[in-house]
């Protein structure tokens, strides 16, 4: 017997419940009543003949089947939204849209100049920024929710093509008037007891934790984890702490005098930034790779992403 397929309402419900396990909050997000949401859950479970959620203290705990459906539904909804956007853009002469994300940062001061450059060479290619992919860029690339990511560090991912763009130095940033503001570089002993704000506490092999803190056995006083580096800049400028951030992303704040910067260690810590795309040979993959190559060429001409 043919069972009716799940429709977009069901997919949106599954994704909403994966993000918000409370029935009332998920219902509000879907703009329906909690009773209507409960009815929709029972309807999907009846169609699939599989339990999707268990109630635990007014929350819905997803079963493995629900977790799997949520992953698939998120990809399908993203593809549908992209298809709708592509159709609208095709009507304006854009034949291919590249969804772009930047690892960790949301600094896009360089984007308008690059878009002008891109339109001169490839006028039928458009760019869409996917800010939500900035924290899980490689998985977003594999899941096809983003097409091109700007990423840094020592990486060698399977199925990904990397185009070197530029080298950039990490910067220890602090407010003007800070006790270390006149230093050219910061050593391990300098940061002991310093209030430190970071966007991640996961140690990365090529950055300050492994290259400065651990070798010197000197650690700052971690006071905050703020996942938006641009918000960290505001906190540093206000005198609420120090941080280590990518030089290109904070260059405007340094140039304006809002924050002060120094090298991380006497030799500094340089990171290579790449434009990463899927390494396939489909027409879509090749056009994404073309944009990555043009972005790398533009960066080489402009000295990276600091300008723009």
Asked whether residue 2 carries a pLDDT value surpassing 80, the answer given is no
* Confidence band of 279 (pLDDT split at 50, 70, 90): very high
Strands in 143-284 per DSSP E = 148-152, 160-174, 185-186, 195-198, 221-225, 243-246, 260-264, 270-278
Output the pTM of the full model: 0.68
Domains defined along the chain, listed by start? 8-72 (1.10.10.10), 81-165+272-302 (3.40.190.10), 167-270 (3.40.190.10)
Q: What is the mean pLDDT of residues 42-62?
A: 83
Of 59-63, 203-207, 229-233, where does mean pLDDT reach its minimum?
Answer: 203-207
| Residue 255 token pair | 């140039």
Encoding tokens for residue 235?
Answer: 């906190």
> Does the structure show a pLDDT above 80 at 99?
yes
Is the predicted pLDDT of residue 307 greater than 70, yes or no?
A: no
Average pLDDT, the chain: 86
Angle, helix 111-121 to helix 283-302, in steps of 10 degrees: 120
Question: What is the rounded distance in angstroms from the CA atom of residue 181 to the CA atom of residue 133?
Answer: 34
Contact 288, 202 (CB under 8 A): no
Among 113-122, 163-172, 220-229, 240-249, the least confident range: 220-229
Q: What is the structure's pLDDT at 145? A: 84
Q: Is residue 121 helix, strand or coil?
A: helix
Report the C-alpha gap between 26 and 40 in whole angstroms: 12
Q: Is it the case that residue 295 has pLDDT exceeding 60?
A: yes
Q: What was the pLDDT predicted at 134?
A: 60
**Statement: residue 1 has pLDDT above 60:** no
């Amino acid at each position: 017997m043919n069972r009716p397929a799940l429709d977009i309402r069901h997919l949106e419900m599954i994704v909403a419940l994966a993000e918000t396990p409370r029935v009332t909050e998920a219902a509000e997000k879907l703009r329906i009543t909690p009773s209507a949401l409960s009815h929709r859950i029972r309807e999907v479970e009846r169609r699939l003949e599989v339990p999707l959620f268990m109630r635990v203290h007014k929350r819905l705990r997803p079963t493995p089947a629900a977790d799997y459906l949520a992953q698939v539904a998120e990809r399908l909804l993203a593809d549908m939204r992209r298809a709708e956007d592509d159709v609208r853009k095709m009507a304006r002469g854009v034949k291919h849209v590249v969804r772009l994300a930047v690892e960790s940062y949301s600094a896009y001061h360089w984007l308008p100049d690059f878009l002008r450059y891109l339109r001169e060479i490839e006028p039928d290619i458009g760019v869409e920024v996917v800010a939500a992919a900035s924290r899980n860029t490689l998985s977003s690339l594999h899941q096809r929710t983003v097409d091109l990511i700007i990423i840094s560090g020592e990486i060698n991912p399977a199925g990904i093509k990397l185009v070197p763009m530029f080298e950039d130095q990490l910067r220890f940033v602090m407010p003007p008037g800070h006790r270390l503001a006149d230093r050219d570089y910061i050593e391990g002993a300098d940061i002991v007891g310093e209030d430190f704000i970071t966007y991640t506490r996961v140690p990365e092999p090529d950055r300050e934790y492994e290259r400065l803190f651990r070798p010197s056995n000197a650690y700052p006083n971690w006071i905050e984890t703020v996942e938006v580096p641009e918000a960290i800049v505001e906190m540093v400028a206000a005198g609420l702490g120090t941080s280590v951030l990518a030089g290109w992303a904070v260059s405007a704040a340094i140039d304006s005098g809002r924050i002060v910067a120094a090298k991380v260690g006497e030799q500094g810590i340089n990171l290579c930034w790449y434009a990463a795309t899927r390494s396939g040979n489909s027409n879509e993959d090749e056009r994404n790779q073309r944009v990555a190559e043009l972005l790398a060429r533009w960066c080489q001409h402009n000295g990276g992403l600091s300008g723009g």
